[in-house]
């Protein structure tokens, strides 16, 4: 099987239809209609590439502002939504009815209205004419209908609830009451400004989410998905439970390629699920493992789900910082799933897939050379690029591009010397594992666009949109030239290869756009909710409402938010779910946590919402990832969903951990020694948690052993809770010490302080907040201003005189006029967390010793007990 072709194991028609209805639209017309849809989709992709590129500014034409670009984005999305998604299950799939043609054209006009009449609208702000209001009304109705088709009725119902709330404000209970709005004001606010449909969410979809989806689609089209799968098989297939571990690792790698849980399940599951069943796992468990690993593809850096890019706007920090914060929880989640898979293999006594016989010394030498060689190459790449930039200055990009081109041609020439990859049929009785290097050498060129993306994002710290643009340019070049180059080096027909490559490129551009239809529609519809919040002031009311429901208890409040995310996620996509819950609830958590004396970082709250939105894809009764996996394994989707939810408990526990222990997000971790300690302890904790929930450690655990393991897990995740019982975590210094503490703080240190004041609603508040100080400045006042905060001191009193709009200080609820009454500093003499970790690990060692004795004595429990009783078999 060629690395530039799809695997021979194609999904069944039912699976293809499931993916189409979830991601690209279930309609497949023929003739001129198909040509129109494909042409518009390709045009959409080309427009997005143009908009993200520096070419408009370099050439001086085609420059669009954000509002114009969002309008074109939505107009094309609405057109394709009505063309690609049938109105009902009984609607035709092979042609587009005349009514849908009309709706598509009207929707395109309404969506692009702000682009078509931008100058006219700019000359009469706040004074809409009849055409403006009629277009806005029709646009909202068509957007809701497109949402029903592409995303389902639940998302429409959510939007309609908020629309109803806009007009029913005067009749609501006191805690949710507002003065209401006229139809004219509602239409203008939602469609003719950037406060509603054309707000931040659609802006993020326009600016860079589209390009990341297109990048992943083209990477898959080039054959990188199959290549990554084969590498996973070569590296892990020989281990106990190897096929299941392949599913986990390949899903993590596919997270770079696919932003959809369903397509991730289908692309990898058609191979891994039958393999898992061959090694002894039941169909339900095989499907559950694939689904559980696939949903986590969206939390895996560096290219996370679309919602992660929205955090850039909502949290106000660079994407590189979001990746840094999300890295450890994602790795912990996947490592825990690998361990769960290992435990399941131990339970059933699964045997590994045999691999080529080789002396242990030779295998060890090859492994060592592979690891050391990879490290050397990475170091040469990093320091080589930095050296080229220093040596060539402004000419460095051209020199590096030429070097990348030479490396690309050389890697393709090297790959052409070997046979194309073939994907073995997992249903055959014998499977021969390939060697890792034999697989890797056939697709070294696939690493180039990934390196470009990572370098731009993490090292150069370019915007996500510009980073995705350069990575997309690289993968377009590979898709367009790889087949012809292989043909050239193999003395095969170059015209035929070039024709196939061009077909792949056009198909990838069209498919990338069709994959974006649902996201564009979801972000636009979510804008209705955001617009309602800004129009009615609902965000301010939610604090009081949630505080009333939860009684001010942060744990209850977080459980409530997790439940809301899960319920909403059963009917709406992850991106829309994140927008809704983060808009309404994230500020509430930060505010109520601060009032309870808990300085919760804003990124922790947003990741909390993100994680539970993803969990909905596997949670019964509506978990599309579980349904897709069950279709492959031919098992009950509800049973698969419940088993997958059990496996995903290790993902569900992590958001609660990093809310109360931000060190897991590498927040407040100052040295390499601290970083290593945090990583080791948290990895150990999640593995112990997995062993406890699976009721299996060295052997099957007894009930009290699982309980002790959970206690140990809590001690490792929350060592501060135990230390707080004997010694306070902080001491409060006078407010007059604020500037001294700011001046002395190292780079990127967070400072915590207590503020008091009166909100704009007239309520007195006292809360604890934490502010990242960034880089040192000549004076502490300048450093605070760079963080968005201006203070004025008089004696021992320090008053907040200004909070910069859109700054992090504003997002965490600081207001001008608040008094800073104290500065928090780590308490001297507090015992080290080591004194919690040592007895915790001693308990783990004791349980391991007891279970090993039981194994040696041959005394196994008669039946599984503990948390997973009845489900472990």
pLDDT tens, residue by residue, 100-156: 999 999 999 999 999 999 999 988 888 899 999 999 999 999 999 999 988 888 888
And the tokens for 636? 């009950």
CB 45 within 8 A of CB 221: no
Model confidence over 149-196: pLDDT tens digits?
888 888 888 889 999 999 988 888 877 788 888 999 999 999 999 888
Residue 362 above 80 pLDDT? Answer: no
Picking from 433-447, 546-560, 715-729, which range would have the lowest pLDDT averaged per residue? 546-560
In angstroms, rounded to a whole number, what is the distance separating the alpha carbons of residues 326 and 311? 12
Q: Can you tell me the mean pLDDT for 459-485?
A: 89
Distance of CA 304 to the CA centre of its chain: 4
And the tokens for 133? 């209001």
pLDDT computed for residue 430 by the predictor: 46
CA-to-CA dists, residue 817 to 790, 802, 810, angstroms = 11, 8, 13
In angstroms, rounded to a whole number, what is the distance separating the alpha carbons of residues 179 and 747? 47
Q: Which residue has the higher pLDDT, 212 or 714?
A: 714
Q: Which helix (H) or strand (E) holds 253?
A: helix 242-257
Place of tokens 């992709």: 45
Residue 737 above 90 pLDDT? Answer: no
pLDDT computed for residue 303 by the predictor: 66
pLDDT computed for residue 432 by the predictor: 65
DSSP 120-160: HHHHSTT---HHHHHHHHHHHHHHHHHHHHHH-HHHHHHHH
Residue 10 above 50 pLDDT? Answer: no
pLDDT computed for residue 450 by the predictor: 86
Picking from 230-244, 405-419, 485-499, 734-748, which range would have the lowest pLDDT averaged per residue? 230-244
Picking from 48-52, 514-518, 583-587, 827-831, which range would have the lowest pLDDT averaged per residue? 583-587
pLDDT computed for residue 273 by the predictor: 79
pLDDT computed for residue 3 by the predictor: 37
- 12 — phi, psi (to 5°)? -70, 165
Question: Is residue 508 helix, strand or coil?
Answer: helix
pLDDT computed for residue 290 by the predictor: 85
pLDDT computed for residue 571 by the predictor: 56
pLDDT computed for residue 844 by the predictor: 94
pLDDT computed for residue 480 by the predictor: 94
Point out which residues pair with 730 in neighbouring strands.
826
Model confidence over 49-58: pLDDT tens digits?
999 999 998 8
Q: Can you tell me the mean pLDDT for 567-590?
A: 74
Place of tokens 């922790």: 604
> In the 8-state DSSP scheme, what is residue 21?
I
Residue % of the chain over a pLDDT of 90 = 26
Model confidence over 799-836: pLDDT tens digits?
888 888 878 888 888 888 898 888 888 888 888 889 99
Residue 357 above 50 pLDDT? Answer: yes
In angstroms, rounded to a whole number, what is the distance separating the alpha carbons of residues 142 and 525? 11
Model confidence over 773-802: pLDDT tens digits?
878 888 888 888 888 888 887 767 888 888
Q: Can you tell me the mean pLDDT for 671-696?
A: 91
pLDDT computed for residue 621 by the predictor: 64
CB 598 within 8 A of CB 235: no
Residue % of the chain over a pLDDT of 70 = 89
In angstroms, rounded to a whole number, what is the distance separating the alpha carbons of residues 812 and 787? 12
CB 303 within 8 A of CB 311: no
Q: Can you tell me the mean pLDDT for 371-394?
A: 85
And the tokens for 36? 């129109």
Q: Which of 291, 154, 239 is nearest to 624 (CA)?
A: 291
CB 303 within 8 A of CB 468: no
Q: Can you tell me the mean pLDDT for 740-752?
A: 85
Picking from 302-306, 603-607, 748-752, which range would have the lowest pLDDT averaged per residue? 302-306
Residue 572 above 70 pLDDT? Answer: no
Residue 97 above 80 pLDDT? Answer: yes
Q: State the chain's mean pLDDT as an integer.
A: 83
Band of the pLDDT at 692, cuts 50, 70, 90?
Answer: very high
pLDDT computed for residue 7 by the predictor: 38
Band of the pLDDT at 634, cuts 50, 70, 90?
Answer: confident
Band of the pLDDT at 529, cuts 50, 70, 90?
Answer: confident
Contacts of 111 (CB under 8 A, 6+ apart): 71, 74, 75, 76, 77, 78, 79, 139, 143
């Amino acid at each position: 099987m060629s690395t530039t072709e799809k695997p021979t194991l194609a999904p069944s028609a039912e699976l293809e239809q499931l993916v189409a209805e979830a991601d690209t639209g279930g309609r497949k017309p023929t003739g001129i209609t198909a040509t129109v849809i494909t042409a518009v989709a390709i045009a959409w992709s080309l427009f997005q590439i143009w908009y993200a590129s520096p070419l408009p500014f370099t050439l001086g034409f085609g420059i669009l502002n954000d509002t114009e670009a969002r309008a074109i984005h939505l107009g094309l999305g609405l057109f394709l939504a009505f063309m690609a998604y049938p109105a009902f299950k009984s609607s035709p799939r092979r042609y587009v009815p005349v009514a849908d043609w009309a709706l598509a054209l009207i929707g395109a006009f309404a969506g692009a209205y702000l682009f078509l009449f931008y100058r006219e609208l700019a000359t009469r702000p706040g004074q809409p004419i009849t055409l403006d209001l009629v277009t806005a009304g029709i646009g909202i109705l068509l957007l809701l209908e497109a949402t029903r088709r592409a995303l389902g009725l639940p998302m429409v119902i959510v939007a309609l609830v908020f629309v109803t709330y806009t007009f029913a404000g005067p009749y609501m209970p006191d805690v949710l009451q507002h003065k209401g709005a006229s139809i004219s004001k509602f239409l203008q606010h939602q469609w003719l400004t950037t406060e509603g449909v054309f707000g931040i969410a659609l802006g993020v979809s326009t600016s860079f989410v589209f390009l990341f989806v297109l990048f992943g689609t083209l990477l898959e089209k080039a054959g990188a998905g199959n290549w990554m799968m084969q590498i996973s098989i070569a590296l892990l297939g020989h281990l106990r439970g190897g096929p299941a571990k392949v599913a986990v690792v390949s899903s993590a790698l596919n997270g770079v390629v696919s932003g959809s849980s369903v397509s991730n399940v289908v692309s990898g599951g058609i191979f891994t699920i039958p393999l898992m069943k061959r090694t002894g796992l039941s169909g339900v468990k095989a499907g559950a493992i694939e689904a559980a690993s696939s949903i986590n593809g969206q939390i895996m850096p560096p290219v996370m789900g679309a919602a992660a890019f929205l955090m850039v706007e909502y949290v106000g920090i660079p994407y590189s910082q979001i990746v840094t914060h999300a890295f450890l929880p994602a790795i912990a989640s996947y490592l825990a799933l690998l361990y769960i898979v290992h435990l399941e293999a131990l339970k059933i006594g699964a045997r590994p897939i045999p691999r080529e016989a080789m002396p242990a010394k030779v295998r060890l030498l090859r492994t060592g050379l592979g690891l050391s060689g990879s490290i050397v190459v990475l170091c040469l790449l990093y320091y080589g690029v930095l050296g080229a930039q220093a040596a060539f200055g402004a000419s460095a990009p051209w020199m590096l591009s030429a070097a990348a081109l030479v490396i690309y041609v050389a890697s393709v020439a090297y790959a052409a010397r070997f046979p194309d990859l073939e994907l073995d049929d997992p249903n055959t009785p014998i499977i021969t594992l390939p060697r890792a290097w034999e697989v890797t050498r056939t697709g070294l060129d696939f690493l180039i666009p990934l390196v470009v993306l990572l370098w731009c994002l993490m090292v150069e710290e370019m915007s996500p949109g510009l980073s995705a643009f350069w990575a997309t340019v690289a993968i377009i070049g590979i898709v367009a030239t790889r087949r012809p180059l292989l043909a050239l080096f193999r003395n095969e027909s170059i015209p035929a290869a070039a024709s196939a490559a061009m077909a792949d490129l056009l198909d990838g551009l069209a498919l990338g756009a069709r994959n974006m239809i649902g996201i564009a529609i979801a972000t636009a519809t979510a804008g209705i909710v955001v617009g309602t919040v800004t129009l009615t002031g609902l965000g301010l009311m939610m604090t009081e409402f949630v505080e009333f429901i939860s009684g001010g208890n942060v744990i209850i409040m977080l459980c409530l938010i997790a439940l809301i995310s899960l319920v909403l996620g059963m009917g709406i996509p992850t991106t829309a779910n994140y927008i809704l819950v983060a808009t309404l609830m994230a500020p509430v958590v930060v505010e109520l946590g601060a009032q309870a004396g808990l300085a919760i970082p804003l990124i922790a709250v947003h990741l909390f919402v993100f994680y539970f939105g993803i969990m909905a894809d596997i949670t019964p009764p509506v978990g599309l990832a579980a349904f897709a996996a069950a279709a492959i394994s031919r098992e009950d989707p509800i049973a698969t969903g419940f088993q997958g939810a059990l496996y995903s408990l290790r993902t569900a526990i992590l958001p609660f951990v990093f809310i109360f222990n931000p060190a897991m997000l590498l927040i407040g971790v100052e040295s390499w020694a601290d970083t290593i300690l945090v990583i080791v302890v948290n990895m150990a904790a999640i593995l112990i948690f997995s062993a406890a929930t699976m009721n299996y450690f060295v052997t099957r655990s007894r009930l009290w052993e699982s309980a002790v393991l959970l206690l140990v897990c809590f001690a490792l995740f929350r060592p501060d809770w135990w230390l707080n019982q004997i010694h306070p975590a902080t001491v409060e210094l006078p407010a007059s010490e604020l500037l001294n503490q700011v001046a002395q703080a190292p780079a990127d240190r967070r400072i915590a302080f207590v503020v008091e004041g009166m909100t704009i609603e007239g309520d007195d508040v006292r809360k604890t907040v934490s502010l990242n100080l960034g880089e040192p400045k000549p004076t502490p006042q300048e450093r605070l201003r760079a963080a968005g905060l201006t203070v004025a001191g008089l004696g021992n009193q320090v008053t907040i005189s200004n909070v910069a709009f859109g700054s992090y200080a504003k997002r965490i609820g600081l207001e001008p006029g608040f008094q800073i009454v104290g500065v928090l500093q780590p308490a001297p003499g507090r015992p080290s967390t080591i004194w919690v970790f040592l007895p915790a690990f001693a308990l783990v060692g004791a349980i391991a010793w007891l279970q090993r004795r039981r194994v040696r004595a041959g005394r196994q429990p008669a039946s599984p007990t503990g948390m997973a009783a009845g489900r472990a078999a």
